[in-house]
C-alpha cells in the first residue's frame, strides 16, 4: 500500500476507504437474444437493476437476486460480468461486419460483448493460451448463441503467423498483477508481489508486439488491465509507443467519452524505464526510479497517455481498471494486404443431403437473420459439422476448439442437432417450439433432464424456450418431448 499512497497522494485515504464497501455486481444483456433496452424493462424489478453508466447493455444487480441461478442465464439472455470490465468493448465500439480479435479472451466476458455488438456479422476470433480456460471460453461462446465466432487455444506468437495485418479491431485484455481485483479476489491479493508486477509488465509488452502485427493499417486496438500498477498501464503503453511509432493513442472527444472513467496519468508513463533499462540510460537508473513515480518522467513521459482511461473504485461503481484505445497509422499508397488462403470446406454429397433434410424439416423457409440454412463454408471435425464464418482464413495447424457454429453430429442416415444450434436459433425461425415459463416448474424439469408432456401432437426436433428465449432441444415422439439438454449442464 506504500506504493499506492505515493501514487495517489491526497486521494489515498478515500481510495482505501472504498475497500470497506461491498463490491458491486453486474450483468450485461445479450443483444443476440433481443433488444437489451427491452430486456432491461422486462427484468428491472426481477433483479433490481440499475444502469452501468459506461455500458448501454450493462446493469448492476442486487446479489440476493442471484441471476446466475435463473433459467435466463442458461439461455444466454445475459452474461454475469464485473461492471468495470464492460467499459473495454464500449470504448472499442466494434461494428457489424468487422474482423475482431479478442487475444486473451477467457472466460469470455469481452468476447460475448463483442459478439453482441457485431450482430452476427463479420468475424470474431477469441483466443486463450491456457487449455482449461479456453474450454470455459468455448462454453460461454456456445451459451450466448454466437454464430460467427472461432475459439483458438494458442500463443500470440503463433497467431500472428496466421493473421498478418488481418483484423480491423482487437482487444488485448492482458494478464496482469490484478491489483484492481483485490476487493473481490483473495487469490489476487495472495499472489501479488513487486516481482510479479515486473513479470506481468514484460509479458504484456511481448503480447502487445504480437498483437500489433495482426492489426491492419488504420485499425484500432484496446489494451486493458485490472491493475493500478503504472508499469503495466501508462508506462506499458508508453514503452509500446516507443517501439511502435506507427501507433498512437486515440483522443476521444469530450462529448463522446464514457461517463465514470477518469483520465490516465501521463506523469506515470516515465516508469517504463523500469521495463527497459536502456530507456533510462542504464539499468542502474532504471532501478533508481522505482522509488519515485515521476523521477524518470521528464523527456520520457508521453503526454498522450493522458488520453487513456482509468476506473478507480473510490470514484466509480466498479473495480480498478485501465484502458488505452490505440490506432495504427493508415497504409501508405500502394500497400497490398497479405494474401489470405481459405480453408478446405466439406464436400460430401451423402452427408450434405442428411444436413439438408434436417434443415428443411426443422427450420422455416425464411428464418430471419439466423442464416442457419446456409450449406456453404461447412467443415467436418470427426463426425461434427461446423459452419465456418465467411471471413475465416485457413487454420490448419492451429489449435482450434470451436471453428464456427456447431450444427450437429452426423450419425447414420441422420443429424443430431447441437446445443449450440439451439442457443443460436430464435423460436420464430423454427417449425416447432415450446416456450416454458421462467418461474414455472416445467423449465426446472427440463434443465434437470426430465421428459416433458406434449399435448400438441408435435413430431420431430423441437426448440425448447424459456419465456421466448431458446435454451435447448427436445424430440417430440408420441405425445412426449424427449429431453436433449446436455447431461453436463443439467441441474
Q: 3-class DSSP state for residue 381?
A: strand
Of the residues 55, 200, 226, 465, which is catalytic? Answer: 226
Q: 3-class DSSP state for residue 176?
A: coil
**Residue whose C-alpha cell reads 434443415 in the numeric block:** 359
Among candidate residues 285, 172, 320, the one with its CA nearest the CA of residue 236: 172
Distances (CA, A) of 284 to 195, 200, 205: 17, 21, 21
Cell numbers for 452, please give them: 416433458
Cis omega (within 30 of 0) on the bond before 402?
A: no
Neighbours of 458 (CB within 10 A): 19
- Burial environment of residue 190 by CB neighbours within 10 A (0 to 12, 13 to 18, 19 or more): exposed
> What is the C-alpha to C-alpha distance for residues 438 and 442, in angstroms, rounded to an integer?
9
> What is the C-alpha to C-alpha distance for residues 320 and 482, in angstroms, rounded to an integer?
47
- Burial environment of residue 462 by CB neighbours within 10 A (0 to 12, 13 to 18, 19 or more): buried
* Residue 200 appears among annotated catalytic residues: no
Q: 3-class DSSP state for residue 473?
A: strand
Q: How many CA atoms lie within 13 A of 198 on its CB side?
A: 11
- Burial environment of residue 2 by CB neighbours within 10 A (0 to 12, 13 to 18, 19 or more): exposed
**DSSP states of 58-127:** EEEE-GGG-GGGSHHHHTTSEEE--GGGGHHHHHH---TT-EEEESS-TT-HHHHHHHHHHTT-SEEEEE
- Can you say how many angstroms the Cα of residue 306 is from the centroid of all Cα atoms in its chain? 26
Q: 3-class DSSP state for residue 367?
A: coil
| SS3 of the chain: helix, strand, coil, percent, to 5 | 40, 25, 40
Write the CB contacts of 370 (distance below 8 Å, at least 6 apart in sequence).
147, 363, 424, 425, 426, 429
> What is the C-alpha to C-alpha distance for residues 221 and 490, in angstroms, rounded to an integer?
39
> What is the C-alpha to C-alpha distance for residues 374 and 196, in angstroms, rounded to an integer?
49
> What is the C-alpha to C-alpha distance for residues 160 and 139, in angstroms, rounded to an integer?
25
> What is the C-alpha to C-alpha distance for residues 439 and 419, in angstroms, rounded to an integer?
22
**Residue whose C-alpha cell reads 481510495 in the numeric block:** 15
Catalytic residues: 226
Amino acid at each position: 500500500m506504500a506504493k499506492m499512497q505515493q501514487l495517489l497522494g491526497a486521494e489515498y485515504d478515500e481510495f482505501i476507504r472504498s475497500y470497506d464497501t461491498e463490491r458491486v455486481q453486474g450483468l450485461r444483456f445479450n443483444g443476440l437474444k433481443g433488444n437489451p433496452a427491452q430486456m432491461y424493462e422486462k427484468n428491472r424489478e426481477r433483479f433490481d437493476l440499475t444502469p452501468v453508466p459506461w455500458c448501454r447493455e450493462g446493469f448492476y444487480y442486487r446479489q440476493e437476486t442471484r441471476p446466475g441461478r435463473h433459467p435466463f442465464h442458461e439461455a444466454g439472455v445475459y452474461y454475469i460480468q464485473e461492471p468495470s470490465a464492460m467499459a473495454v468493448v464500449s470504448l472499442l465500439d466494434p461494428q457489424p461486419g468487422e474482423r475482431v480479435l479478442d487475444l486473451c479472451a477467457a472466460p469470455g466476458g469481452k468476447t460475448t460483448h463483442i459478439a453482441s455488438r457485431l450482430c452476427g456479422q463479420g468475424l470474431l476470433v477469441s483466443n486463450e493460451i491456457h487449455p482449461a480456460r479456453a474450454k470455459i471460453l468455448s462454453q460461454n461462446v456456445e451459451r450466448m448463441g454466437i454464430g460467427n465466432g472461432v475459439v483458438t487455444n494458442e500463443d500470440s506468437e503463433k497467431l500472428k503467423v496466421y493473421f498478418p495485418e488481418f483484423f480491423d479491431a482487437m482487444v488485448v485484455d492482458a494478464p496482469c498483477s490484478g491489483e484492481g481485483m483485490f476487493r473481490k479476489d483473495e487469490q489476487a491479493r495472495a499472489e501479488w508481489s513487486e516481482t510479479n508486477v515486473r513479470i506481468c509488465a514484460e509479458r504484456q509488452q511481448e503480447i502487445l508486439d504480437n498483437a500489433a502485427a495482426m492489426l491492419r493499417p488504420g485499425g484500432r486496438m484496446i489494451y486493458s488491465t485490472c491493475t493500478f500498477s503504472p508499469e503495466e498501464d501508462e508506462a506499458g503503453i508508453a514503452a509500446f509507443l516507443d517501439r511502435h511509432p506507427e501507433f498512437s493513442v486515440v483522443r476521444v472527444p469530450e462529448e463522446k467519452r464514457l461517463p465514470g472513467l477518469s483520465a490516465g496519468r501521463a506523469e506515470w508513463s516515465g516508469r517504463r524505464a523500469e521495463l527497459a533499462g536502456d530507456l533510462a540510460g542504464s539499468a542502474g537508473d532504471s532501478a533508481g526510479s522505482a522509488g519515485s513515480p515521476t523521477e524518470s518522467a521528464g523527456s520520457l513521459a508521453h503526454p498522450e497517455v493522458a488520453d487513456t482511461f482509468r476506473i478507480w473504485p473510490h470514484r466509480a461503481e466498479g473495480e480498478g481498471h485501465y484502458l488505452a484505445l490505440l490506432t495504427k497509422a493508415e497504409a501508405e499508397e500502394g500497400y497490398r494486404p497479405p494474401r489470405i488462403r481459405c480453408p478446405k470446406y466439406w464436400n460430401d454429397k451423402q452427408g450434405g443431403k442428411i444436413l439438408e433434410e434436417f434443415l428443411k424439416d426443422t427450420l422455416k423457409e425464411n428464418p430471419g437473420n439466423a442464416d442457419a440454412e446456409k450449406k456453404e463454408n461447412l467443415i467436418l471435425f470427426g463426425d461434427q459439422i461446423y459452419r465456418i464464418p465467411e471471413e475465416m482464413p485457413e487454420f490448419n495447424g492451429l489449435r482450434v476448439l470451436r471453428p464456427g457454429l456447431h450444427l450437429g453430429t452426423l450419425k447414420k442416415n441422420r443429424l443430431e442437432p447441437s446445443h449450440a444450434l439451439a442457443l443460436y436459433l430464435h423460436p420464430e425461425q423454427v417449425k416447432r417450439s415450446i416456450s416454458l415459463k421462467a418461474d414455472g416448474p416445467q423449465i426446472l424439469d427440463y434443465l434437470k433432464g426430465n421428459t416433458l408432456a406434449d399435448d400438441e401432437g408435435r413430431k420431430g426436433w423441437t426448440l425448447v424456450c424459456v419465456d421466448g428465449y431458446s435454451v435447448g432441444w427436445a424430440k417430440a415422439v408420441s405425445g412426449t418431448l424427449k429431453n436433449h439438454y446436455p447431461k453436463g449442464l443439467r441441474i
